[in-house]
């Protein structure tokens, strides 16, 4: 059974003057997916969202929603809902009136408007606030009302432009949970724009990583984190320890890497590197094991170091270990254990060759 494609971008390009802000963007988004455009400021993610919404026209390429070509079609004819980071609620209208606004524009009968508004307010768990005005609501409540207003017209596509960026950390987490529940419950195809990697990993069925207007990688959150297509993707998603070195040898799916700290072994991960090539080497903090004694374990990378700093962060403890040539961050996950590591204490680090990421080093002066 073939999948239904709700959104398709074919060779989309957008320029502002001589500056190409979106360059040859291709993607198919299936019905019910939550796809996130992720990247730093200026990478083209919001520009792409605005082209899908109809606020901007692509200079090149074709854009389809539900199989219909949308080039030149105005925003109000695209059957979509959009939520902005600034909420954009009408201050002189009640919550009920704000949510009902799109239905009134469509000349939906009053009785049907009341049913739809009450239903969607129930979905976002705010039916008791129908008579209040936006100024009487908290930031999280206003954002949920903005989402309800976007959902009430039952759009085939929901666009979210950094809707959590103006909220404090705790509220962001709560509303992020709510948005995931809503998206799965309603099943509306969703495109989410953010620069927050944790939000992207949490909410998405797939992530599009953008850099300077170009697509670096499209994949599931697991693929993006564990099989990054480039050094940029790896460094943008999650935290990692970086070393530099050269490839001593590459054979039988294994790499030997020469660094200031000695030889490091890595599984090849299909990296296109060859003997003598300068490379960047990365190991994520959570994949490094820390011991107070040298266990002499075979088939792993080992390194001796000195504890520089430990920081308890609730769910885990981070430890900085000075190895002489560089500092390694280790993430210890057992929250029930009191890691009493004294500054200056000697420790031993171990990590698997499968947990080493290797990328060609573009700037050998790094």
User: What is the predicted pLDDT for the residue at 324?
Assistant: 81
pTM of the model: 0.87
User: What is the predicted pLDDT for the residue at 173?
Assistant: 84
User: What is the predicted pLDDT for the residue at 206?
Assistant: 97
User: What is the predicted pLDDT for the residue at 335?
Assistant: 57
User: What is the predicted pLDDT for the residue at 261?
Assistant: 81
Provide block-wise average pLDDT over 10 residues at a time, the chain (366 residues): 88 95 96 94 94 96 95 91 82 94 91 92 89 91 88 89 80 82 87 91 95 96 94 93 91 86 83 85 94 86 92 87 90 71 91 93 60
User: What is the predicted pLDDT for the residue at 366?
Assistant: 44
Ranges in the chain annotated CATH 3.40.50.300? 5-235
Give the pair of three-digit tokens for residue 217: 């990688």
Q: Give the Å distances, CA to CA, from 99 to 102, 105, 196, 279, 300.
A: 7, 12, 28, 54, 58
Helices 110-123 and 169-186: crossing angle in degrees, nearest 10, is: 120
State which fold the 5-235 domain adopts: Rossmann fold (3.40.50)
Helices 110-123 and 139-151: crossing angle in degrees, nearest 10, is: 130
Distance between CA atoms of residues 79 and 157, nearest Å = 7
User: What is the predicted pLDDT for the residue at 9?
Assistant: 97
Ranges in the chain annotated CATH 2.40.50.100? 239-360
User: What is the predicted pLDDT for the residue at 1?
Assistant: 57
User: What is the predicted pLDDT for the residue at 365?
Assistant: 45
Q: Is residue 16 classed exposed, middle or buried when 0-12, 13-18 and 19+ CB atoms within 10 A define those classes?
A: exposed
User: What is the predicted pLDDT for the residue at 363?
Assistant: 62
> How many Cα atoms are found within 13 Å in the side-chain-facing hemisphere of 353?
16
User: What is the predicted pLDDT for the residue at 270?
Assistant: 67
Distance between CA atoms of residues 221 and 286, nearest Å = 17
User: What is the predicted pLDDT for the residue at 315?
Assistant: 81
The CATH code for residues 239-360 is 2.40.50.100
């Amino acid at each position: 059974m073939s999948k239904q494609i709700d959104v398709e971008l074919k060779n989309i390009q957008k320029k502002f003057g001589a500056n190409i802000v979106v360059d040859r963007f291709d993607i198919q988004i299936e019905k019910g997916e939550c796809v996130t455009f992720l990247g730093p400021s200026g990478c083209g993610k919001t520009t792409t969202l605005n082209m899908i919404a109809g606020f901007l026209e692509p200079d090149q390429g074709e854009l389809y929603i539900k199989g219909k070509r949308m080039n030149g079609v105005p925003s109000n004819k695209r059957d979509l809902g959009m939520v902005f980071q600034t909420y954009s609620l009408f201050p002189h209208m009640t919550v009920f009136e704000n949510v009902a606004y799109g239905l009134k524009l469509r000349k939906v009968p009053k009785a049907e408007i009341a049913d739809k508004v009450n239903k969607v307010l129930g979905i976002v768990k705010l039916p008791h606030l129908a008579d209040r005005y936006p100024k009487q609501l908290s930031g999280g409540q206003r954002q949920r009302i903005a989402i309800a207003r976007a959902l009430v017209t039952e759009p085939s596509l929901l666009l979210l432009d950094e809707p959590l960026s103006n909220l404090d950390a705790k509220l962001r987490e709560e509303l992020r949970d709510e948005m995931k529940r809503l998206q799965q419950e309603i099943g509306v195809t969703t495109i989410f724009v953010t620069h927050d990697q944790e939000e992207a990993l949490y909410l998405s069925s797939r992530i599009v990583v953008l850099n300077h207007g170009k697509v670096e990688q499209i994949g599931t959150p697991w693929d993006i984190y564990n099989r990054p297509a480039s050094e940029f993707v790896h460094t943008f998603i999650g935290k990692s320890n970086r070393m530099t070195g050269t490839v001593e040898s590459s054979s039988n799916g294994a790499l030997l890497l020469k660094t200031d700290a000695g030889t490091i072994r890595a599984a090849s991960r299909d990296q296109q590197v060859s003997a003598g090539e300068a490379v960047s080497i990365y190991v994520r903090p959570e994949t490094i094991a820390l011991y107070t004694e040298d266990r002499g374990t075979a088939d792993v990378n080992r390194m001796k170091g000195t504890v520089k700093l430990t920081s308890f962060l609730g769910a885990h403890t981070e430890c900085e270990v000075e190895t002489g040539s560089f500092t390694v961050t280790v993430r210890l996950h057992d929250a029930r254990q009191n890691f009493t590591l004294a500054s200056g204490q000697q420790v031993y680090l171990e990590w698997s060759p499968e947990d080493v990421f290797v990328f060609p080093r573009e700037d050998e002066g790094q």
